[in-house]
Structure 1
Amino acid sequence: MKALDFWFEFASTYSYLTAMRIEAAARRAGVEVRWKPFLLGPVFAGQGLSTSPFNIYPLKGGNMLRDVERIAAAMGLGFRTPDPFPQNGLTAARIALIGCDEDWGADFTRAVYLAEFDQGRQISDKAVLSDILHSLGQDPEAVLQRSESPENKARLKAQTETAMQLNMFGAPTFMTEDGELFWGNDRLEQALYWARHHTLEGFFEQDAG
């Protein structure tokens, strides 16, 4: 089966929307999804930014929030602006890295996004993450301990460095097996189509039909 890498950041509003729909879309397309948590902080720092571009440009940020609110409502999802924005998703990403190696990474990721953007909880709070892990049948204390190991911390750092080497500049980002990069929730379907066909030829005709 063809595969698509889904690079996501827990602070990313559009990654929230993608995480909640990518598996159904991938099933329809006949593509396997590989979940890849990473950190945008180092990516932004490499661009000379100290925070999210949505904070630097208030008009853009305001429009983004309304855009996500509209899309979330159409998807039947709640949305509230995190306070602060962006939230610190470091520990969540370290946990997700473990979960994505096992069979609960996608469920954990969706639960974290719902806690953050639907329920308004602080995802940097280990109590919140422990609640999510417990709901998934995991041992919170054991998983948190594993997530804080030097080896796991190094893995997340390396994965973020890989994202930068692949010229990623935001999230969500999709990478096909032949190295095509697609950015943004609104490019998911194109990324899946390319993963299957290695071209977008025929994509828009299919969409129009």
Structure 2
Amino acid sequence: MPRRPTLEFWFEFASTYSYLAAMRIEALAEEAGVGLRWRPFLLGPIFAGQGWTTSPFNLFPAKGRAMWRDLAREAARLGLPPIRRPADFPQNSLAAARVASYGADQPWIGPFTRAVFEAEFARGQSIAEPAAISALLNGLGLDGPAILKAATSEPNKSRLRVVGEEAKSRGIFGAPTFLTEDGELFWGNDRLEQALAWATGDRPPGLA
């Protein structure tokens, strides 16, 4: 059997469009015959490097209003629950990112990622508190306290910081971002299908 190509899925739990991508990427990748590498990271340091102290959707109100309306349209189109905006946006996603970083290679990474995003954008709940993340893990039949303890160990915290530096070095500036094995970068939920096609060798004519 030929080796399946792999697509890296770089996502940030505070990102609205990462939510849309996370809810559909596994099924689409399986259909395309593409393996997934889950790459949770934090956008905050990247934004800070650009001189931003918060999301550009907050810095530019017109852009923010358009985004929330677009998010509602896209959620409806994809058959997802109506969007419920959390009280704080963007949320502090550190606890969730640490857990996802710890479990990135575990079979529960997909269900966990979707559970966090559903809590945040389908139910409008806070994901900032470690207790909330632990409860979501428990809801998946996992040992929330034990995983949270491992996720907050120094080696795992260091791992997340290294991943953040890798994101910057590879030119990632937003989420979601999809990277193919040959280094082609696709940014945004609306580029997911194109990223999967590129990963399988289906490229537009004239592009190597």
TM-score by length of 2: 0.94
Match of 1:72 in 2: 75
Match of 1:9 in 2: 12
Match of 1:34 in 2: 37
Matched residue SS, 1:34: strand
Match of 2:184 in 1: 180
CA distance in 1, matches of 2:124, 2:149: 25
CA distance in 1, matches of 2:149, 2:45: 24
Equivalent position to 2:159, from 155, 161, 177: 155
Match of 1:128 in 2: 132
Match of 1:110 in 2: 114
By how many angstroms is 1:97 displaced?
1.1
Q: CA RMSD in A?
A: 1.4
Matched residue SS, 2:200: helix
Matched residue SS, 1:174: strand
**TM-superposition CA deviations, 1:131-179 (whole Å, max 9, x none):** 2111222111111110110100000000011001001110000000000
Q: Work out the percentage of aligned pairs sharing the same amino acid.
A: 58
Moved more, 43-52 or 11-20: 43-52
By how many angstroms is 1:127 displaced?
2.4
Equivalent position to 2:96, from 86, 92, 97: 92
Gaps of 5+ in 2: none
Matched residue SS, 1:11: coil
TM-score by length of 1: 0.94
Match of 2:197 in 1: 193
Length, aligned pairs only: 203
Gaps of 5+ in 1: 203-209
Match of 2:53 in 1: 50
Is the helix fraction higher in 1 or 2?
Answer: 1
2:42 and 2:94 in contact (8 A); partners too: yes
The amino acid that maps onto 2:26 is: E
The 4+ residue runs of structure 1 with deviation greater than 4 A are: none
**TM-superposition CA deviations, 1:99-155 (whole Å, max 9, x none):** 212111111000000000011111012222122111222111111110110100000
